[in-house]
Amino acid sequence: MTAADLAREMAAARRRHEEKTTRLLREARAQAVRAALRPGASRAEVEEKARNFYPRLNPELLAEVVSLVCPDPDDPRREA
């Protein structure tokens, strides 16, 4: 293994680690909000709880949390 191969492998490992960390943070946020809600909570309640839990989170990430907790049934990206 050459130094260039090692550098490429290390960069790929860093990318995989960053992707895994991002996914775990996303799932943890959604789980925290989901656990704090009563069953059958409306989308507005989900949004309010997410904003209360994460007041400094940027709007895109808040919307992501809300979409994970309360998925849109018409969203084609939704997992079956």
Sequence spans of domains, the chain: 3-69
Predicted confidence at residue 39, as pLDDT, reads: 87
For the chain, how big is the Rg over CA atoms in Å?
Answer: 17
Predicted confidence at residue 16, as pLDDT, reads: 96
Along the 80 residues of the chain, how does pLDDT read in single tens digits?
899 999 999 999 999 999 999 999 999 999 999 999 998 899 999 999 999 999 999 999 999 999 999 887 665 554 54
- Residue ranges in 2-58 assigned as alpha helix (H): 3-36, 43-53
